[in-house]
Amino acid sequence: MSSAELILVYEPEQACRERLEASGMDAPAAAEISSYLAQSTDLAAEFEAIAFECARRDITFVPVQLDDAAKVLSERDPTTTLVWSLTDGIAYFRGGAAPALARLNGLKTLGAEDSLFALCQDKFRSGVVLGALGLPVPPAGLVRDGAWLAPAPASRDGWFVKPNRLGAKIGIWPESHCRELPQAWEISRRIFSRYCDDAVVQPYVAGRNVRVSFLAIDPEMPASEALGVFFVESGADFQTMEDSLALYGGTGAAAKAENRYSEPDLVPVASVQPEADTRIRALCLDLMKKLGLRDVFSVDLRVEPDNTLHLIEFEVCPGLPCFDFRAYCRRQWNMSLPEAIAAAAAARLAI
């Protein structure tokens, strides 16, 4: 019997979809929302490989569905248990409960403290906090079903409209970048009708999309050097819901099999805009210091040709089996995803 356990708590895609439909949401919208949990669907195929890599490090790997987490965590030994939540969520998803349950039972966690699991899911409040900390986040207005709760900031290049509690970089529809405020108002009505969510309205910012990934594996390596900083080149200005569905889970697998979608290219920012790379690494260190990010996280930005940075969002539960995080594990750590998961758990347990 191993002396330590890694408990990976995940919320199944199907369970979320069924719960949303039972609450009255129509099936297509419930399917779109639950698709954000496709990483749990994708990672399940690798549980055996993760268990093997953990066993090599004298760790027992225990994947636990979210609905079973309260009972399982209440029975664990705080001296030998590490909890890693694969999902966050305070609205459509409930994964934010996992780190709180771990804290309730005195268990060690991998990742940020549980308060950030709630903050990162509310994009408007998150932006307010990031702005107050002096980080370069675009200002935002907030509108609920056509009623402004906070006025939209002025903008010369139009606005970007997105759900407040879903993906901060996903515009849902191609017209989510709009030129007139009445259009933003109408999109907010559509968002509320389909997802029962408020809409964030931000000035549109130009630039290329950047994804930063981080996983703490080597305690001797400075955090700034452990970051993976890549341009995400998909050929589109921003990701829509259709694009997202084509990347992950069963829908993504079908799209790839039918050659309807290909993974974006990842280009190291340092190879194109070295000054931007330096600034991004400094910004991420600021996030770690001021906000408390640690162990595993991702950051999305827009970067202009003059190296101006726009911080779009941070995620405390990045999509581990997604193409970008797998590529980061290969390029930064020369590891497969199961190897990297096990190595990160071993490093955290050693602290």
CATH of residue 228's domain is 3.30.470.20
**pLDDT grade, residue 239 (50/70/90)?**
low
Q: How far apart are CA 351 and CA 347, in angstroms?
A: 7
Residue 259, in any domain of the structure: yes
52 and 156 together in one domain: no
pLDDT at 242: 60
**pLDDT grade, residue 123 (50/70/90)?**
very high
Structural domain range at position 90:
4-119
3-class DSSP assignment, residue 10: strand
How many domains is the chain built from? 3
Kind plus residue range of the DSSP H or E element containing 311:
strand 309-315
Residue 15, in any domain of the structure: yes
Residue 133, in any domain of the structure: no
Q: Between helices 27-34 and 181-195, what is the axis angle to 10°?
A: 100
Tell me what percent of the chain is helix, strand and coil, each rounded to the nearest 5. 45, 20, 35
Residue 349, in any domain of the structure: no
111 and 179 together in one domain: no
Which of 324, 292, 299, 294 lies closest to 314 in space, CA to CA?
299
Whether pLDDT at 279 is above 50: yes
Task: Give one word for 320, left, alpha or beta, with left for phi > 0 and alpha for psi -120 to 50.
Answer: alpha
198 and 266 together in one domain: no
pLDDT at 167: 58
pLDDT at 76: 97
Domain boundary pick from 90, 119, 148: 119
264 and 286 together in one domain: yes
User: For 166-170, 217-221, 291-295, which range has the lowest pLDDT when averaged over its residues?
Assistant: 166-170
3-class DSSP assignment, residue 170: strand
Q: How far apart are CA 184 and CA 100, in angstroms?
A: 36
Residue 132, in any domain of the structure: no
| pTM greater than 0.85 | yes
230 and 317 together in one domain: yes
226 and 330 together in one domain: yes
Domain boundary pick from 153, 170, 203: 203
192 and 213 together in one domain: no
Q: What b-and-e string marks burial along 281-308, b requiring 16 or more CB atoms within 10 Å of the CB?
A: bebbebbbeebebbbbbbbbbbbeeebe
257 and 194 together in one domain: no
Residue 45, in any domain of the structure: yes
212 and 329 together in one domain: yes
Quick check: 321 and 169 in contact, CB under 8 A?
no
Residue 158, in any domain of the structure: yes
Residue 190 one-letter amino acid = R
76 and 50 together in one domain: yes
Residue 218 one-letter amino acid = D
Kind plus residue range of the DSSP H or E element containing 105:
none
Residue 131, in any domain of the structure: no
Alpha carbons within 13 A on the beta-carbon side of 208: 23
Which of 340, 322, 350, 351 lies closest to 53 in space, CA to CA?
340
197 and 235 together in one domain: no
* Between residues 294 and 195, the one the model is more confident about: 294
Whether pLDDT at 169 is above 60: no
User: For 151-155, 164-168, 267-271, which range has the lowest pLDDT when averaged over its residues?
Assistant: 164-168
3-class DSSP assignment, residue 139: coil
175 and 247 together in one domain: no
Q: Residue 297 CA to chain centroid, in angstroms?
A: 8
* CATH code for position 108: 3.40.50
Q: What b-and-e string marks burial along 206-244, b requiring 16 or more CB atoms within 10 Å of the CB?
A: ebbbbbbbbbbbeeeeeeeebbbbbbbeeeebbbbbebb
pLDDT at 3: 84
CA distances in angstroms from 300 to 43, 61, 72, 232, 315, listed in the order given: 22, 30, 34, 10, 8
Show Cβ contacts of residue 147 under 8 Å, excluding neighbours closer than 6 positions: none
